[in-house]
Structure 1
Amino acid sequence: MEMLCTLRSATEAQRKALLSAPERLEDFLDDEEDFGDTDGTRFQELDIGETWHGLQYLLTGSAWEGQAPLDFLVRGGEDVGHIPSDEGTARIFTPAQVKQLAEALQALSPDTPRNRFDAAAMQQLDIYPGLWDEPPDDVDPLGELLSYFEELRKFVRQVAKRGHALLVHIG
């Protein structure tokens, strides 16, 4: 089973609605109509697919640990719950936490992810999806990760600028 990651902005009203009714998480993720939102603000979404674990490693130097807030892809935030249909989990970060994350991502040197990339170490640590040292011929793992890293920085900055919360769903 593939494990894919989606990040989605949420208003404070949506964040509270999800925490009070976690059984509605799947509705929120599937809903294009701004679940629980009353101000008409459209959500923002970024699909980072299977790169989430590689990005976690490049951001923190660790598979499952790291310093907050840069460990946000695998830790932190408040647990919203599980989605039975895909066995996924979701965590949500407050607008204040998103602002801290945006600042930390912007402060991170673009060379840091490039310098942390080590295909052999990532393979040994079983960083998902596990094709780091022998990728398919048409895939440049470092290039793909760096591209997603830039998209991630931009996305989190936009979510923070809007004063929204951030949902991280891996499933």
Structure 2
Amino acid sequence: MEMLCTLRSATEAQREALLKAPERLEPFLDDEEDFGDTQGTKFLELDIGETWHGLQYLLTETAWEGTAPLDFLVRGGQDVGDIPSDEGTARIFTPDQVKKLSEALQKLSLDTLRQRFDTGTLQQLEIYPGTWDEPPDDEDPLEELLSYFAELRKFVSQVARRGHSMLVHIG
């Protein structure tokens, strides 16, 4: 089973509604309902696919640990619940946490991330998807991660500017 990561903005009303009714998480992620949003605010969404764990390593130099706010892909926030259909989980971060994350991401340079990248270490730590030492011929795993990092930094900045919460779903 693939483990994919999606990030999605949520208004404060949506965040509160999800925490009160976690069984509605799946329809919320599937965009079947925007419950709790009385202002018709369009959500922002970013799919980082299988790169989430590699990004976690580049951001924290750990597989499952790290220091807040940069460990947000695998830790932190408030647990919203499990999604039975995809065996995934979701956590949500407050607007203040998103703002701090945005500031931390802006401070990270691409050179720092390049220096942290090492296929041997990624393999040794079993960083998902586990094919770092044998990427497809047409793919440069570092460049893919850096591209997703740029998208991630932009996305989190946009969510922070809106003053919204952010949901992280891995499943």
Matches within 5 A, 1:92-103: 92-103=92-103
CA offset digits 1:55-105 (Å, max 9, x no partner): 000000000000100000000000000000000000000000000000000
TM-score by length of 2: 0.98
After superposition, residues 68-83 of structure 1 pair within 5 angstroms as: 68-83=68-83
Give me the whole-angstrom Cα distance separating, in 1, the residues matched to 2:94 and 2:132.
33
The answer to whether residue 9 in structure 2 is matched with residue 9 in structure 1 is yes
SS in 1 for 2:37: coil
RMSD of aligned C-alpha atoms? 0.8
Q: Secondary structure of the equivalent of 2:9?
A: strand
What's the counterpart of residue 117 of structure 1?
A: 117
CA drift of 1:36 comes to 2.1
Contact kept, 8 Å, 1:34 with 1:42, in 2: the verdict is no
Deviation at 1:35, TM superposition (A): 2.9
Give distance in 1, aligned partners of 2:9 and 2:152.
12
Q: 2:11 and 2:133 mapped to 1: Cα distance?
A: 40
Query: Could you list the runs of 5+ residues in structure 2 that have no partner in the other structure?
Result: none
User: CA separation in 2, counterparts of 1:74 and 1:65?
Assistant: 8
CA contact (8 A) 2:159 2:165 kept: yes
Task: Trace 1:19-168 onto structure 2 (pairs within 5 A).
Answer: 19-31=19-31, 33-168=33-168
Q: Which runs of 5+ in 1 are unaligned?
A: none
Q: How far apart, CA to CA, are the structure 2 residues paired with 1:94 and 1:33? A: 21
Report the AA paired with residue 42 of structure 2.
R
How far does the alpha carbon of each residue in 1:98-156 deviate from its partner, in whole angstroms, 9 at most, with x for none? 00000000011221111100000000100000010111111110000000000000000
Aligned residues: 171
Q: Provide the rounded CA distance (Å) in 2 between the counterparts of 1:129 and 1:73.
A: 15
